[in-house]
Structure 1
């Protein structure tokens, strides 16, 4: 179980760091997911910072517990975007099936972040 947790933790860290990089390198990828009432550049900058911090913190054992909670919260904050995309006639992700799968994965991400938080040792 310990090895599985480390694998999942490092995969999520890589996902966060890749996402942070992409928000800066190729922000146009995320444009269809950003609601019109948000500034695209602001949303990309804030997302890049949050994802970068969480990604790095997931790697560092001392901060892993709080990074798991941060990941969980971030995924909850992103949940409305994926629900909104699923309800669109033509989802930004491509198809209704892809949007449905992405929405289901979002719930798995929330659970994974919570699991990391709850199973990581408390540090001072």
Structure 2
């Protein structure tokens, strides 16, 4: 794996570790993004565990390939939330413009996760 790919993997890993911590320390931040039919506590706990595991995989060089795949899948799972948020009259975080930018970024990070996966050895 080239150095740029490793750096991106570590940055995403750290981002996910922060997110995992924040889901537990500051769950009310995520409340507006969680659909009404999903229990907030369950969503935050599952997201924290998943982000913790994938974040650790992305940071450990031996497991970065699987971390990249896990990251791409996780971002695909979060994609409907961004689409749903964009369709709301008042998006959960920011304006319609911010929601649109977040959706575009979501596609980019999905592609980068796949890039980490495909460019990693075993």
TM-score range, shorter chain: over 0.9
For residues 65-108 of structure 1, the C-alpha deviation after alignment (integer angstroms, 9 at most, x for no partner) is 11110000000000000000011111001100100000001001
**8 A Cα contact 2:14 2:59, kept in partner:** no
2:110 paired residue number: 110
1:8 paired residue number: 8
Return 5+ residue gaps in structure 1 as ranges: none
RMSD between aligned residues? 1.0
Q: Counterparts in 2 of 1:50-65, with a 5 A limit? A: 50-65=50-65
Q: Which structure ranks higher in relative contact order (CA pairs < 8 Å, sequence separation ≥ 6)?
A: 2
Q: Counterparts in 2 of 1:1-124, with a 5 A limit? A: 2-122=2-122
Q: Distance in 2 between matches of 1:17 and 1:80?
A: 22
| TM-score calculated relative to the size of structure 1 | 0.96
Three-state SS of the structure 2 residue aligned to 1:93 is coil
| TM-score calculated relative to the size of structure 2 | 0.97
Structure 1 moving runs of 4+ over 6 Å = none
Return 5+ residue gaps in structure 2 as ranges: none
